[in-house]
Amino acid sequence: MKLQPEPQMPRVWRRESKPHRFCPGCGHPLALKALGEAVDDLDWQDRVVFGCDIGCSLLAWDFFDLDTVQTHHGRTLPVLVGLKRVRPELVPIAYMGDGGAYAIGVQHLVSAAARDEPVCSLVVNNAVYAMTGGQMAPTTLPGQKTETTPYGRDPALSGHPLKGAEMVAAVAAPEAYVARGSVANLRQLKRYLLRALQNPHFSLVEVLASCPTNWRTNAAETWEWVEKEMPRYFPLGELKGGVREEERR
């Protein structure tokens, strides 16, 4: 039942592991497409190391022809920080869900940003804990129903959604790069990722992404959510510009 490799697959995608394991309509493979193209454009297959968290991100453990390490939930950043400290020539990227990055691993994220560790994070914000079956995530929107907010997220009880990119921008060094893109605009997302990967400082790109399985939405509703609802709370754009090419020389 092997599908023909899609002609538009990034070079760095591993053919043997396709078709991938994400659900139809999932945002993960779109984010990974933008990432793959960015790595292709830079021709950095020899130096990018891919780290994935526990969450649906772990389904990408053999996604790329890149050296990859799959770690514990929330612990991807510290693993890659250690790697980068002993192998400065490598370009590690931590691929995490919003739960991994902004809840269980938030202490690692904040500390890495504050210390300006030169690693890159790609955080998939799908507003739920997807892998464990659709519980509330730090990013769940007010009123949004999940398995653990069966009556809708009530900010009076469980607080407001966490704006992770803004939080990181607030604690990160001036040279850090922080941006928020969306799987609804892959060209923009790829542009952000190119800057993040090339920034020799801490960088984070959050990407708004779909999870139709746990949202229980049809195709039209899913896109409505990603394109219209989510950006209302999580505005797209660059929050911190990093070090530009010209400044680096």
Ligand X SMILES: Cc1ncc(C[n+]2csc(CCOP(=O)(O)OP(=O)(O)O)c2C)c(N)n1
> Rule CB under 6 A: which residues touch ligand X?
54-57, 73, 97-100, 124, 126, 128-132, 137
- CA end-to-end span of the chain, whole Å? 51
Contacted by 212, from ligand SF4, ligand X, another protein, none: CB < 5 to 8 Å by type: ligand SF4
Mask: binding to ligand SF4, 109-148, rule CB under 6 A, as x and -? -----------------x---x------------------
Q: Does 69 bind another protein (CB under 8 A)?
A: no
* Whole-number Å distance between alpha carbons of 7 and 214: 30
Tally of CB atoms within 10 A around 167: 18
Shortest CA distance to 120 belongs to which of 198, 30, 32? 198
Q: Residue from 12, 109, 204, 211 that binds ligand SF4 (CB under 6 A)?
A: 211
Would you tell me how many other CB atoms lie within 10 Å of the CB of residue 115? Answer: 13
DSSP state of 6: P
Q: Which of 214, 222, 234, 240 binds ligand SF4 (CB under 6 A)?
A: 214
Give the binding range for ligand SF4 (CB under 6 A) out of 19-27, 100-108, 161-169, 177-185.
Answer: 19-27
Nearer to another protein, 45 or 149 (CB): 149
Q: Is 96 in the site for ligand SF4 (CB under 6 A)?
A: no
Q: Which is nearer to another protein, 64 or 192 (by Cβ)? A: 64
Could you tell me the smallest distance in angstroms from the CB atom of residue 162 to another protein? Answer: 10
Nearer to ligand X, 72 or 187 (CB): 72
Angle at which helix 106-114 crosses helix 76-86, to 10 degrees, equals 30
In the complex with another protein, the residue whose CB is nearer, 60 or 179, is: 60
Nearest alpha-carbon partner for 139 in 59, 225, 197: 225
Other C-beta atoms lying within 10 Å of the C-beta of residue 88: 10
Minimum distance from residue 135 beta carbon to ligand SF4 (Å): 12
CB 144 within 8 A of CB 160: no
Question: Any contact of residue 79 with another protein (CB under 8 A)?
Answer: no
Q: Indicate the residue type of 244.
A: R
Q: Cα–Cα distance between 237 and 219 in angstroms, integer?
A: 25
Yes or no: say if 115 and 72 are a contact pair by the CB < 8 Å rule.
Answer: no
100 binds ligand SF4 (CB under 6 A): no
Buried b / exposed e along 50-74 (16+ C-beta atoms within 10 A): bbbbbbbbbbbeebbbbebebbebb
Q: Which of 148, 191, 227, 243 binds another protein (CB under 8 A)?
A: 148
Give the footprint of another protein on this chain (CB under 8 A): 1, 20-23, 54, 56, 58-59, 72-74, 99, 103-104, 106, 129, 131-133, 135-136, 138, 147-151, 158, 213
Give the footprint of ligand SF4 on this chain (CB under 6 A): 22-23, 26, 28, 56, 126, 130, 211-214
